[in-house]
Amino acid sequence: MTGSDDTHQFRTWLIIAVFGVLAFAIGGTAFFLGHSSSSRASMQIVIDDAAASAAPVDPYAQYRATGWIAAENAKPGTHDWAVPDDKAAWAKIEGFFDATSINLGSSVILRSSTRAPTWQVTAYRIGWYGGTGGRMIWKSDRLVGVNQPRAEQGGIPKAWSAPWATSLAIQTDATWPPGQYLFKLESVDGGASYVPLVIRDDKSTSDILMQSAVTTWQAYNGWGGASVYTGTTGRADAVSFDRPYTGNGSGEFLGREREFIALVERLGLDVSYWTDIDLHQRGELAKNHRGIVIPGHDEYYTVEMRKNLEAARDAGVNIGFFGANNVYRRIRLDPTQNGLNRHETNYRDASRDPLNGKDPERVTTSFRESPAPNPESSLTGSYYECNPVDADWVVGDTSMWMFEGSGFKNGEKIAHMVGNEYDRVNLSVPTPANIQILAHSPVTCRGMSSFADTTWYSASSGAGVFDAATFGWSPLMLDACPAGTPSTPICKLQKVTENILRAFAKGPAGAAHPSVSNLSKFSMSAPRTTTPPQTTGPQSPTTTTGSTAPSSSTTTTTTVATTTTTTTAVQIP
C-alpha cells in the first residue's frame, strides 16, 4: 500500500471516529436532557403534592357544603335539651353570655349564679333531628356553684344588670356546627334554665339567613327590676344584655322562633343563623344571602339595622317577616364593660331623649313618630295596628303563587291564628303601590273592628317581601305533616310556607313572582303613589301617602297622619 493510500485510510477512520464521538455526545446529551426533564417533572409533582398537603384546610368548609343541614339533622337527637316547666327550678340557677352570637370557632364567657354546691352546663344545637328538636354538642365538667351578687343599675340611662364574675370560658371548634343553641344550666339541687346563643358563620353564603330578634327579647325582659314596659318603680328607659332573661332564660325563642327553625331544618334548606344585633354590627353580610327570614317578634330596631335591611332588599335579597309588629320601636345600642352593643336605649318620648334637636333620626321614639317619622310599612308592606287580639286567619286570594299545591280555597280559615298583635294594609301611610293581600282576616281589638292583612310585594331590585302580620304563624310550623297532598289547615299553611322559602332560596323572588296590587278585591282604593319621605338611608320603594283609607274596615284602631307628623298605634304600654 502506498503512502497516499495510508493517508486516505487514516483520514477515513478519523472522520468516522469524529462522527461517532459526535453521535455519542448528541445521543447522550439528548438522553440526559430527557431524563433531566422527566426528573424535574417528577420533582415538581412531589413539590406540588407536598405543598398541597401543607396547605391549611378550613375545618368549617363542611358547613358550607350542599346538603349539610340534612346530614346534620340525620344525626341522633335528644329530648334532653328541654327544661321543666317549673318556676322554682328556673330560679335555682341562672346565667347569661357576654355575646348574643359568636363566629365559628370563637369563645364565649358564661356568667352563672346558683346556691347549689355544684352545677353543669350542656350545649344543644336546636333543629329538627327526627322530631326531638335538639342534638347535644358539648357538656362541661361539674363546676363549683357560686351565689353571685344582686342586680344593680348602671349606664346612661340606667339599666338593671347582673354584676357577676366569669363562671366559665367556653371555646368552640369545628365540632360545633353553626346554628341556634340553647345551653342548659343544671344545678345539683334540681335547678334548670337556659342561656341562648347563636353560632354564626361570617363566611357563609347560604340561601337562607335566619335572624333571631334578641333586642325585642331584651326589651320585654324584666330581670332585676324593669323592662321597657314595666318595673318595680316604672318602666325603664334602657335595658342591658348583661343579665339573664326572666322565666326559663330562653327569651322569646320558644314559641316564636324555635318552631320555624324546626321546619327549615326538616326541609333541609341551606340555612345559617345570626341575630338582629349582627344586622346592626355587620349588616353588609346580609347581601351574601338570597333571603332573610325573621320568624319571630322583631320589633326593636336601630337606625343601622333598618338601613342595612333595606339595603339588602334593594340589593335583591328577599325578606320574610313571619311575625307581626316588626321594625316598630327605634332604639340605640351602646357598649358596656362586657362588650359592644350591650346597652339598649328606648326613651319613647322625644322630649326626654338627649339627642332630640341634635340627631333627629336617632331619637328613640317609634319609627313612625316625630322628629324623624319613617313608618315601618315602607319596608314591611303592612302597618302594625293593635293588640291584644285573637281571631281566625282567613285566606283571601289563592290565585297568588305561594298557594300552589296547598289546597287552600278563598275564605278558608285557620282558627285562632291571628294574635296577639297584628298588622294591616293602611293606605294613609307609606305603602308599596304593588302590594298584594294573601289573607284578609276580620279582627276585633279593644272593641273596634278591623282586619289583619298577610301581604306580599316585589321591590324594584327583584326582591320579594312577605309579612305574615300575626304571631300565630311560626308556632304552627313545629309538627311534621304526612307526605302527599295537604289535608289539614296547618299542613296547607306549611305548604304555603315551604313555597315561600324555596322561592327565596332560588334568588330574587319578587322578580320571579312580581306582585300586582289586588286591593280592589278587598274593597280598598288603589294606592296613590308619591315621593317617599326623605331619610338618610336607602330609598324606599314606591309608596302611598294620604290615599283613601280602606273601606273594608268599619273602624280603624290607628290614628294616622301624613309622613311628616306623628302616627300612633293602639298598644299595651
Determine, yes or no, domain membership for 104: no
CA dihedral over 410, 411, 412, 415, signed as positive or negative: positive
Read off the pLDDT of each residue in 39-66 and give the average, rounded to a whole number.
Answer: 69
Give the chain's radius of gyration (CA, Å): 32
Q: Are 137 and 181 in contact (CB under 8 A)?
A: yes
Q: How much is the pLDDT for 535? A: 33
Are the C-beta atoms of residues 472 and 390 closer than 8 Å to each other?
A: no
Q: Are 535 and 308 in contact (CB under 8 A)?
A: no
For residue 533, give its domain range: 377-573
The predicted model gives 268-276 an average pLDDT of: 98
174/157 Cα distance (integer angstroms)? 40
What value does the mean pLDDT take over residues 412-422? 98
The residue with cell 324584666 is 222
**Residue 139 located in a structural domain:** no
Lowest pLDDT segment from 21-30, 55-64, 522-531:
21-30
**In a domain? residue 443:** yes
- Give the lowest-confidence range in 1-5, 109-113, 123-127, 194-198: 1-5
User: Domain for residue 153, yes or no?
Assistant: no
In a domain, 41, yes or no: no
pLDDT tier, 524 (very low <50, low <70, confident <90, very high otherwise): confident
Q: Report the distance separating Cα 289 and Cα 235, nearest Å.
A: 38
Say whether pLDDT at 11 is over 80: no
- The mean pLDDT of the chain is 87
Instruction: Identify the burial level of 449 via C-beta atoms within 10 angstroms of its C-beta, where 0-12 means exposed, 13-18 middle and 19 or more buried.
Output: middle
Q: What confidence tier does 50 reach under pLDDT thresholds 50, 70, 90?
A: low
User: What pLDDT score does 150 carry?
Assistant: 97
Evaluate whether residue 555 is within a structural domain: yes
CA distance 462 to 367: 25
> What is the percent of the chain where pLDDT is above 70?
82
Confidence of residue 526 (pLDDT cuts 50, 70, 90): low
- Is 69 among the domain residues? no
Q: Look up residue 483 and give its amino acid.
A: A
Q: What is the rounded CA–CA span in Å between residue 44 and residue 39?
A: 8
All 3 cell numbers of residue 59? 375545618
SS (H, E, C) 192-226: EEEEEEEEECCCCCCCEEEEECHHHHHHCCCHHHE
Q: Which DSSP category does 280 fall into?
A: H
Q: Is the pLDDT of residue 66 over 90?
A: yes
Q: What angle, rounded to 10 degrees, do the helices at 258-266 and 489-506 form?
A: 70
In a domain, 439, yes or no: yes
What's the domain count of the chain? 1
Residue 19 exposed, middle or buried by CB count within 10 Å (0-12, 13-18, 19+): exposed
Three-class SS state of 53: helix
pLDDT tens-digit series, residues 444-461: 999 999 999 999 999 999
pLDDT of residue 525: 65
pLDDT 10s digits, 537-553: 333 333 332 222 333 33
Predicted local confidence at residue 52, as pLDDT = 52
Burial call 347-383: b when 16+ CB within 10 Å, e when fewer: bbebeebebbeeeeebbbbbbbbbebbbbbbbbbbbb
| Percent of the chain's residues with pLDDT above 90 | 81
**pLDDT band, very low/low/confident/very high, at 199 (cuts 50, 70, 90):** very high
Confidence band of 15 (pLDDT split at 50, 70, 90): very low
pLDDT at 456 (0 to 100): 98
